[in-house]
A and B are shown apart, each in its own frame.
Chain A
């Protein structure tokens, strides 16, 4: 329960940035209507990209003194770390939801049939969860309460990489759909299982990340 309360603290601290998330979503929907060569998938990817960026917001707000504030609260290190990961995970759900809504709105308004297939949704979610986990591990091991510019870099780069790589992949699929179909056939049409498997793997990576970060911060000074 206390882990959930720590996640709640993160939501309260990052609330201004989270309001921005909603504003940006509206802007993305508008841009997608006027863009000529965008697909519905781009809106989904953008939602996930935003989740990756904003999931690190509590580290951006984390000065030494208010990191110390959380240390004063009666809870274990595991609860503190778990709370932070729950914040990241829940925000990823929110981002994924926003992405799906964006795509749906886009499809409804343009009349295009470009809904996100379940396996793509699951694999994207899994990759994003791993990216968030790696960022959190980095922050806990190296950069928690470091300089703001350094933190901004660490916060932006993985999300940007994720977004541009996914856009590149979508572009490649659009240019050469035959190869994409061949790859899918090779996999054996079992994409749903791969999607769920990748989510399970990502959850395992996150669990390992939580344990690693708990161990790393148990003896840390604030």
Chain B
């Protein structure tokens, strides 16, 4: 059963076009949504949360489109952005009051427990919170209610490794019952490597790769060798050839592995390496 369905989603601005984004995310899985700054990650996530309106295309969360029932649609989503979105002059009690008013499934007990566990200071105005405290408060606000989809837009940026590790654990626990999913954009691809089941990679508003993470890793090779050993057919097949002190490095899809001779070394790439080489390839085009 698909929890999130995005079909031909497009958004046109004067200087940027997000075009025909299409993917599905089943229940119980985490999708990493990756790309450079300005690639369209936040735009896509803002369209999913309906903070921005699409130029065309459809989004369904748990089978509901926002136009059909905006309240139910938004009840199902928990959003955490890289920007803290609660008003700066609020205190924790104001956040709690707003959430209690608006969300049927909001549990004040769970919220208080998370606030206590993370030692968030109830006396301070939110503008005096550290970045880590702000992220934790946003997490407390979404984990204290019964959401189906977590949308994280670079939510772990600027956090120390201890907090990031804690958040990754939270995300894994969140999907553990197999009924909920997470879509997660980040620049820290090592985080995705740990927890993502699917990877969606966009560049300049267009889809580059979309696959299960394990498939993606299985179907790509990191190739290294000397430039002089390259021959035309292999050069054409290699993705994002980059020169370094020892020769070159590039990505090759698994179906073209037969082109490699003994003169080349190959190994399993990381998500980071795949993304970097695809970006280089796109930029050269």
Q: Which residues of A contact B (CB under 8 A)?
A: 2, 5, 8-9, 12-13, 15-16, 61, 65-66, 68-69, 71-76, 219-222
Contacts and interface: CB of A to CB of B under 8 A. Distances in A.
A95 to B, nearest CB: 22
B70 A76 contact: yes
Interface string B220-261: 000000000000000000000000000000000000000000
B89 A61 contact: yes
- B: interface residue count bin: 20 to 34
A43 to B, nearest CB: 30
Nearest to A64: B83
B69 to A, nearest CB: 9
22 contacts: A8-B101, A12-B87, A13-B87, A15-B89, A61-B87, A65-B83, A66-B85, A66-B86, A68-B85, A69-B87, A71-B51, A72-B49, A72-B79, A72-B85, A73-B74, A74-B71, A74-B103, A75-B70, A219-B53, A221-B52, A221-B53, A222-B51
Interface string B90-108: 1000100110011100000
Contacts of B101: 2, 5, 8
Contact of B71 (A9, A13, A75, A220): A75
B97 A69 contact: no
B169 interface: no
Contact of A13 (B51, B53, B90, B103): B90
A72 B51 contact: yes
Given A73-B74, A75-B71, A219-B53, A5 B98 contact: yes
A13 B71 CA distance: 23
Given A12-B97, A68-B51, A72-B85, 11 more contacts: A8-B98, A13-B87, A65-B81, A66-B86, A68-B81, A68-B85, A72-B49, A74-B73, A74-B74, A74-B75, A221-B52
Contacts of B102: 2, 5, 73-75
Nearest to A220: B53
A16 B91 CA distance: 13
Nearest to A68: B51
Contacts of B52: 221-222
Contacts of A16: 89
A167 B73 CA distance: 51
B20 interface: no
A48 to B, nearest CB: 26
Nearest to A2: B102
Contacts of B94: 12
Contacts of A220: 53
A13 B91 CA distance: 10
A213 B46 CA distance: 22
B84 interface: yes
A12 B86 CA distance: 12
A16 to B, nearest CB: 7
Given A74-B102, A75-B102, A221-B52, A69 B85 contact: yes
Contacts of B98: 5, 8-9, 12, 73
Contacts of B50: 71
Contacts of A68: 51, 81, 85
A221 B51 contact: yes
Interface string B144-170: 000000000000000000000000000
Contacts of A13: 87, 89-90
A4 to B, nearest CB: 9
A74 B85 contact: no
Contact of B90 (A2, A12, A65, A221): A12
B87 A66 contact: yes
A65 B102 CA distance: 19
A142 to B, nearest CB: 18
Interface string B39-74: 000000010011111000000000000000011111
A74 B102 CA distance: 7
Nearest to B49: A72
Contacts of A9: 98
A74 B87 contact: no
Contacts of A65: 81, 83-85
Contacts of A15: 89
Contacts of A66: 85-88
Contacts of B72: 74
Contacts of A73: 74, 98, 102
Nearest to B151: A72
A8 B93 CA distance: 13
B107 to A, nearest CB: 16
Nearest to B98: A9
Most buried by A among B50, B70, B87, B89: B87
